[in-house]
Amino acid sequence: MINLMVRVLEEEGSGGIAEQVRTRLVQQPGRYPPIAEVAADYGMSESTLRRALTAEGTSYQLLLNDVRRKLAIEYLTTSRLKLE
């Protein structure tokens, strides 16, 4: 599981708040916190987090969708289970 999270995070690298949020989202795969919880984790309001993400050209929903997509691809490519 750790290797999976590292690989998802290695593909990014902006160093800004978007990367921090992405890191937070992969800490517990399958349990994705609401934006208010993530904002509180970083000591800011939800609206401040939204503005910061917008300034970096992204949004919470886009980051969440990206993390889910990358984790799904990683699970499918590394799993030994058969798809039937």
With respect to residue 66, please indicate whether it lies within any of the assigned structural domains. yes
* Binned average pLDDT, 10 residues per bin, the chain of 84 residues: 52 77 90 96 97 97 95 85 68
* Radius of gyration in angstroms for the set of CA atoms belonging to the chain, rounded to a whole number: 14
Contact 74, 30 (CB under 8 A): no
Q: What's the half-sphere exposure (Cβ side, CA atoms, 13 Å) at 67?
A: 26
CB 53 within 8 A of CB 18: yes
How many domains does the chain divide into? 1
Answering whether pTM is above 0.85, one says: no
Rounded to whole angstroms, how far apart are CA atoms 82 and 84? 6
Domain extent for 71 = 2-78
